[in-house]
Amino acid sequence: MDLGTVTKFREATTRTDLHLHPGERFIAGGTWMYSEPQPGTSGLVDLTGMGWADVEISARGDLSVAATCTIAALASAARDSDWAAAPLFEDCANALLASFKIWNAATVGGNICRAYAAASMVALSVTLDAQAEIWHADGSDSSVPVTSLIAGNGVSTLRDGDVLRAINFPAHALAARTASRKIALAEHGRSGALLAGRLDADSSATFVITAATSTPTVLRFSSVPSPDALDAAVRAVTTYYTDALGSADWRRQVSAVLLAEVLEELTA
């Protein structure tokens, strides 16, 4: 889609370039930006000129993913890795309502910053306890759990001028067993519920509900829960919502059923 209100475009190559002028917005892949009119936007600032490495592995095995890394690049890195959690990267990439062409343009950071309930990079990051590295407009930095960036369906806690620099995954989560399930009302529709689970080496278990709830729901257990305990925790969640992609009651029911399957797979 042409953005008829945009009259300026510039590439950011240094942090100083990230200072936004009135009417400017950041862009990387642009798959959402160009999908609908942006009447309040008069300029675009391209983050891809910053030259951030797509993925970096620390000496202790932590993974840092640049916000400008494409979905395709992240999926490829996971396939080439020895992470036990690697299948979850592919599953979440495939959960996107997007073709392989979009994979090569859409960025991990863009998917997270849009903060949609069905954002599968949010599901991936939250399940693996990822931290968001934020560059603030005042020059300061902060690191917060990715889940804290999501205030509602399509509502982010990022402030004007904030830049998501990277998403950082801890080594212990990458070494964990994972499983996921997705369901949609239409065969190729947006996720009505995207569920994931992680079993750590110490037998602690994490289960995540996204797409079905307006913000990511994280259920943590110090040891593997019984099916009944997990079912009760899933059904007690109060943030299931209704829209054209499914009713709250349906989302609650399928979340309970599919997370039971995730539990069974993790403990098989």
Q: How many helices and strands, by DSSP H and E, does the chain display?
A: 8, 14
Q: How many CB atoms are located within 10 Å of the residue 151 CB?
A: 13
Report residue 67 as tokens: 């916000």
Mean pLDDT of 33-38: 81
Domain 174-267 has CATH 3.30.390.50: yes
Q: What is the CA radius of gyration of the chain?
A: 19
pLDDT at position 97: 67
The class level of CATH for 55-172 reads alpha beta
Residue 6 carries which side chain, given as an amino acid letter? Answer: V
- Residue 258 pLDDT > 70: yes
* From-to residues of CATH 3.30.390.50 in the chain: 174-267
- DSSP state at residue 119: -
**Single pTM value for the model:** 0.95
CA dist 208 and 126 (Å) reads 7
CA dist 239 and 86 (Å) reads 29
Chain-centroid distance of CA 265 in Å reads: 23
* From-to residues of CATH 3.30.465.10 in the chain: 55-172
Mean pLDDT of 241-254: 96
pLDDT band at 37 (very low <50, low <70, confident <90, very high): confident
pLDDT at position 99: 61
pLDDT, tens only, 102-149: 778 899 999 999 999 999 999 999 999 999 999 999 999 999 999 999
pLDDT, tens only, 67-77: 999 999 999 99
- Whether the CA torsion 103, 108, 110, 113 is positive or negative: it is positive
